[in-house]
Structures are given as C-alpha cells and as structure tokens.
Structure 1
Amino acid sequence: MLYTISKFIKFKRIDFLKICLIIILSSDLKHVNSQDHPFNLYIEQHDISILVNETQSTILKLDGIIDRNVNVKLVQQHDNLIAIDPDSIFINKSHTNDDKNIANFSITGLNPGHLEVTATTVPNETWIGRNIFIRVTVGYSNAIIYISIVCGWIYFVAWSISFYPQIITNYCRKSVVGLNFDFLSLNIVGFILYSVFNIGLFWIPEIQAEYFERHPRGLNPVLVNDVFFSIHASFATLFTIGQCFFYERGTQRVSWVAKGLLAAFLLTLIISAILSGTKVLHWLDFLYICSYIKLAITLIKYIPQAIMNFRRKSTVGWSIGNVLLDFTGGILSMLQMTLNAYNHDDWVSIFGDPTKFGLGLFSVCFDILFILQHYVFYRERIQSYRSVEDQNQIDNEVLNDSYEEPVLENSN
C-alpha cells in the first residue's frame, strides 16, 4: 500500500480538503510580495477543472497601488488543450485602487490533458508575474470523474480495514502460528516511515516551506486521508505485533536476513538524520529517503510470507480476508489511475512514471499468489485451528515425506 504512496499523484480527487489547501495556498501567495513591492497581481483561482468544450471564467486581481503600466501575456504550457480569451491584458497605472478586479478572462477546454498557464509581463520583472498562474485539468467526462472518486474512497476504506481480519484471526485462534514475523517487522517499519513522511509534509511548517521553495506552484501532495491511513496502519500493525507476545507462536522469530535489512535501513536513516541535522541535507530530503525505504519495503515485504506458506504447504494462520481486501484496494487504485489517464489523456502518468502503478501491480500479483495458495494449492490444508504441536507434527510429516521409523523385533 503505497505512498502512496500518495507521493506525486498527477490527478487528485477533488474533495473538501483539497479545496481548503488551495484556498490557504492562494491566500499565502497573494501576500508574498506585499511587503517588498508596491503591488501584487494574482489569479483568483489557481486550479481549474473543466471538460472538453466547457468554458469557465476567472479573474486577475490586484493588491496594493500599481505604480506603472503593465502588460500581462498569458502563456500556455501546451498548445491545443485550452483557449484563453483574452490572453493579453493591459493594466494602466491610473487604475483605481478601489477596484481590485483587473480583468475577467475565460478558459475553454479543447482537448483532454493537464497544463499550467503562466504569464510574461512588460516590464519583465519576475516578481510581477510570480503569482499569475493557473493549473488547468481538461477531461472528457464528469461521469468518469465521479467514478474515479468513488473508486478512490472504496480502496481507501478497503485498505484501512484490511488489517483487522488478521487481528481477528489471531484472536480467535489465540495463536500467531502461520503469520510470518519478517513480514510484520518490515511492515511496521514501512508504515512508521510513511507516517513520518506524511506528518512532516502535512503538519511541520518548516518542511512545507522547503517543499514550496522547490515547487512554488505546487500543492502539498499529502492529504488528511494519507495521514490518517499511515498512522492507523502503524497502530494496527503494532497491535498485531503485540498479539505475537501473548498468543501461541511456536518457534517463529524474525530471521537474520530481515534483521540485516532492518539494520541497513536504520543505518541509512541515522546517517540521513545526522546530515540533515548538520544542514548537509534538507529535512525534506530526509523525508524523501524515508519514502524510498518505504517503497523498497513494499517490494519485498510479502516475500517471506509467500515462502513460509510454500514451505508449510498451508495458509493456516495467514488471514485470507486481509489478502482479499488488499487485492480489492489494489485493483481499484489501478482502475482509478487508468480512468484518470483516459479522461485526461495522461498516459504518461502510468507509463512515463511507472513507480506507483508498478508497485500497485506488484502487490496485486502477490495477492493473487496468496489467493492461489489458499484456494487452490493448499486448500486441503485449510482446517480449523490446531495447536502448535499438532501443526508442527503435520509440517514435519510433509517435510519428511511421511517417514516411518522401523520397528525392532525383540530377540530371546
């Protein structure tokens, strides 16, 4: 489950939080130059979503006292996606300061896609046009947008509740035999690092300032549901780990391979934190390193469980409910990406930058493997709970191929 994991999603569903973020960001941008310059030109609405052949209007506004004539030319990032009318605006220095609305202009969707509209100004001073920009998204259909939003919320709910079938299974069996400890150890580290990334970008102003310094016209990529999901996932995984200390676990333990990987991740984090603390790296770079480790963990965390199921020839103890919910979330996540790519003719978001889609597909492939193990390969081993001794006896019988010790005859 990624970061989704959330890291650089090109199209985000339009919800209340995003609108709030846009309003806050726009409000901040309006006053960036108010203390350094006599006036500030800015666009009323920085994000516009329209359909092909649909028209929407917005306003160029003024804060402060304009002390010179300014000619503003709106420049499109890509041709043939939208039409702007007018695309050139002349502002006379005699403009009354009581009227903050400089000019209305309209944007009409021509073809699906994403683009950014910026401005060149005469006189050509960077600060004049800094806040004159619009991010425009043009789509084919509102119906696809709504379907995409529904898919997004369903997979969010599916992933959020996917932790509980395993917790319930452990509770009912009073045992964690069959649940791989390497998977748990990697999973908790991944979700904690995911939480650190989300909390840093969502709640720490200094890190937000670093992000917007690098991406002055961007939106914060972390939404409140990202923060909630990562924190909730961390606590749910910690609870599952706690069950391992109280319930029957047999001889299971974290392997040396997993310990070595975790030690390497910890060393990387310590070095990165020291470099960030000594200002060699920015703290934003430290958060990116956390996210890269999370992505690496997502690639490998299911491998120990799959191998354990194969060796035991059984999925007893590994909740299929968790797998089915994760599979549902993964399929809907990729479906949402595909719908967005089609609706906005943005296939580059999948094939040009395949990280998110590829990692989602990788997780779904493991889910399919677990489903096959549970319902096809080892379905005869799906049974009610057995004690550790009974299960170990069955496993030994499988491994020893039903070896029988010979009986010695007594001699007189």
Structure 2
Amino acid sequence: MQYFTATLLVLVLAKYSACDSSLTVDTHDVALKLHDLKTVSIITSASFSPTTDTLHIYVQHSDIASISLTEIALENLNPNENISLVITALSAGKTDISSNTTSNTINVEDIYFRVTVYKTASLKTISTVIGWLYFAAWSISFYPQVYINWRRKSVIGLNFDFLALNIVGFVLYSVFNLGLFFIPEIKEEYSARYPRGLNPVQVNDIFFAVHAVILTCVTIVQCIIYDRGDQRLSIIARSILGLFGGFLVISAFLAGFDVIHWLDFLYYCSYVKLTITLIKYIPQAYMNYKRKSTVGWSIENILLDFTGGTLSMLQMILNAYNYDDWVSIFGDPTKFGLGLFSVLFDVFFILQHYVFYKHSRYESK
C-alpha cells in the first residue's frame, strides 16, 4: 500500500511538473497598421524539458491576420530559447491568436496574442487625443454648478432628485472601478472568467469617478448651507433609490455568503449606474419646465457634458472605422446609446436655456 501511494505521488508530481508554465510570449497585445508585419516571440523557460508534442497555433480570423508558424515541434526546442513568429496584418479588425498541444503535456495558457489592425495611424492618434479631451470636458463640467451655487449663495433651481441620483450613480461607478482595479480577489475572478481579457478599468476611470463623487458631495453640502427654498427630495426619487438600495444590499449579502461572486456584485453596481444615467436628467428637465426657467441650473455644465458626450461618440465612430469594428456600435449599442441619450438631453437643456426660457429670470421659491 505504501509503495502504491508513493508511486501515485511520483506520477502526480511528474504530471504537474510536465504541465508547468514553461512557455510564454514576449507580448500579448499586438497593434499593426494594415499590411504591416511584426515579429513576436515564444520563449522557453530555463526549466523547459523537450517533449514529443506539437504546439498548434490558430488564428481566429484568418482574413484579418496571418502568422508565419502554425506548428512547432516541442522536441526540437531547448531551454531559454526564443522562437520568432511573424504576424502579418491583412485587413482592419481584431482577432485572437491562440494555441494548444496534441497531448497537453505542456501548459500553453500563456501562448496567445490579441491582434488589432488599424487602417490609419493618424486616426489612432486623433482618437487618443479625443479621448483625453472628453475626459477633461467631463471632469471640468462639475465646477460651474459649484461656482454658481457659491456666487448666488442659493441652490434654488438645482433639482435635488437629480443630485441624489447623481451621487448614488457615481458612488457605484467608483465602487466598480476601485474594486476591479485594486482588490486582488476580484481581479483574480475577472482573470479566471476572462483569461485573455484586459482589465477594463484604467487609472483615468478611477480619477474621474472619485473626482465626480467629491464634487457632487461639495454640491450636496452647498444644498445644506445655502438657500434652498422649499426644495426637497421627492417621494418618487426616494422610492427609486430605496429599490436600488434594497437590490444592492441583497446582492451584497448573496456575495458575502458565496451565492454569487463579488465580481457579479460589481457588475450589478454598474447596471444600477447605467439605469441612473438613463433617468437622472428627467427631474431637472421637468423642474425647468414647471418653473419656465433655467436659473440656478448651470448651462456651462451642460455645454461641457455635451462636448464630452459628442467627443465620446465621435471616438467610437472613428475607432469603428479605423478597426473596421462596427459591431462595437451596432452589435452592442449600450455604450453608444447611453452617450446619445445623454447628448439628446443636453440638447434639450440647451433649448430650454437659450430658446424656450431665454427671457425668464424666475427666482420664486
């Protein structure tokens, strides 16, 4: 019995050793201009042991890119060896290059490439510039309302329902970004679920979300210390926020008791944020209509938001053309639709301010 146990242990250890990550690549992300070439490498580790197996390399979309080698005999490789492969861009788009082995004696999970092929380098640069411009516009857009409140020493004209929905939305957006960027367990969950996916949260996403929370909190403090008339949070807004709160509390309990993953909880937070984005402007627009005035509501905020939203959609269109990736807009219209929805509301606010109520200076409480 002891001999059998020892033999089994040796076999398990041998199999584990044989399946270690002894193969890797020099990069996973490859960006190429149409018709250009790029050389990438598969690298063997110092502990690599040649084996009678074959590494097979597959291109997901062979019309977008090709690779110079599709099969590599692992018995011909040595430790610390670089195997060069040439990726050729055939048409604009995105494709994955993956791999496997015949008998699974080597772990090849790290042998993959994410290839993006763009048509024009200048459009790629313009897209990056536009990205920073709309990031700046959206970030600055919070300040005009704070300034107007301070100058008037009044928040009459600023709808409290909009403000409440806004702070909840940005807090949830911050929770999503901070959790997915900083918490190791959640990052591991994301990697396990999307092994070849990039973390969607970047540093500028975190800055924008936290910055938005801080400035919205400043505005809320202004609502406490400045003249607010008879304005208060409506029953409808309280009910909506109560439903959102109940849903998220239940989701947090389910995550705490391992019924769902914490990553799923973060996604639920993002879904609530998206829902809030769809409805948060309605109370302010209705308040302006009832008062027949936009006094107290910062039009500069709207102009900056309109600029950011328009540039965001423009970037999506440029990227769709440059990467021939129209599916990102028409196949999954959520992001583009939300941006368009916000811009349409901005247009409505602009009409209220400059056309419908341009002569109004209504300040009644």
Give the TM bin, normalised by the shorter chain: over 0.9
Matched, 1:55 2:27: no
The answer on whether the counterparts of 1:112 and 1:344 sit within 8 Å (CA) in structure 2 is yes
- Give the equivalent residue in structure 1 for 2:70: 87
- Give the equivalent residue in structure 2 for 1:232: 211
The answer on whether the counterparts of 1:38 and 1:67 sit within 8 Å (CA) in structure 2 is no
Distance 1:208 1:260 in 2: 34
The answer on whether the counterparts of 1:39 and 1:62 sit within 8 Å (CA) in structure 2 is no
- Give the equivalent residue in structure 2 for 1:402: none
Number of aligned positions between the proteins: 350
Distance 2:125 2:34 in 1: 16
Which of 71, 80, 99 lines up with 1:119 in the alignment?
Answer: 99
Structure 1 residue 40 displacement after superposition: 1.6
Q: Which runs of 5+ in 2 are unaligned?
A: 1-14
The answer on whether the counterparts of 1:38 and 1:66 sit within 8 Å (CA) in structure 2 is no
Q: TM-score normalised to the size of structure 1?
A: 0.82
Distance 1:38 1:250, change over 3 A: closer
- Give the equivalent residue in structure 2 for 1:100: 81
> After superposition, what is the alpha-carbon deviation per residue over 1:158-178, rounded to whole angstroms, capped at 9, x for unaligned?
000100000001011110000
Q: Does the residue aligned with 1:78 lie in a helix, a strand or coil?
A: coil
Distance 1:113 1:161, change over 3 A: same
Distance 1:42 1:249, change over 3 A: same
Amino acid at match of 1:118: S
Amino acid at match of 1:117: I
Structure 1 residue 96 displacement after superposition: 3.2
Structure 1 residue 120 displacement after superposition: 2.6
> After superposition, what is the alpha-carbon deviation per residue over 1:207-265, rounded to whole angstroms, capped at 9, x for unaligned?
00111110011111100000111000001000000000111110000000000001001
The answer on whether the counterparts of 1:39 and 1:66 sit within 8 Å (CA) in structure 2 is no
> After superposition, what is the alpha-carbon deviation per residue over 1:33-71, rounded to whole angstroms, capped at 9, x for unaligned?
997735521221100000111001000111222141332
Greater alpha carbon shift after TM alignment, 127-136 vs 354-363: 127-136
Structure 1 residue 354 displacement after superposition: 0.4
Amino acid at match of 1:240: T
Amino acid at match of 1:252: Q
Amino acid at match of 2:66: A
Which of 10, 22, 25 lines up with 1:43 in the alignment?
Answer: 25
- Give the equivalent residue in structure 1 for 2:109: 130
- Give the equivalent residue in structure 2 for 1:8: none
- Give the equivalent residue in structure 2 for 1:70: 53
> After superposition, what is the alpha-carbon deviation per residue over 1:89-120, rounded to whole angstroms, capped at 9, x for unaligned?
22325x432x331x101111110000100013
Distance 1:280 1:89 in 2: 43
- Give the equivalent residue in structure 2 for 1:195: 174
Distance 1:201 1:184 in 2: 26
Tell me the percent identity. 53
Q: TM-score normalised to the size of structure 2?
A: 0.93
Runs of 4+ in 1 over 3 A off after TM superposition: 33-39
The 5-angstrom pairing of residues 21-40 of structure 1 reads: 37-38=19-20, 40=22
The 5-angstrom pairing of residues 295-334 of structure 1 reads: 295-334=274-313
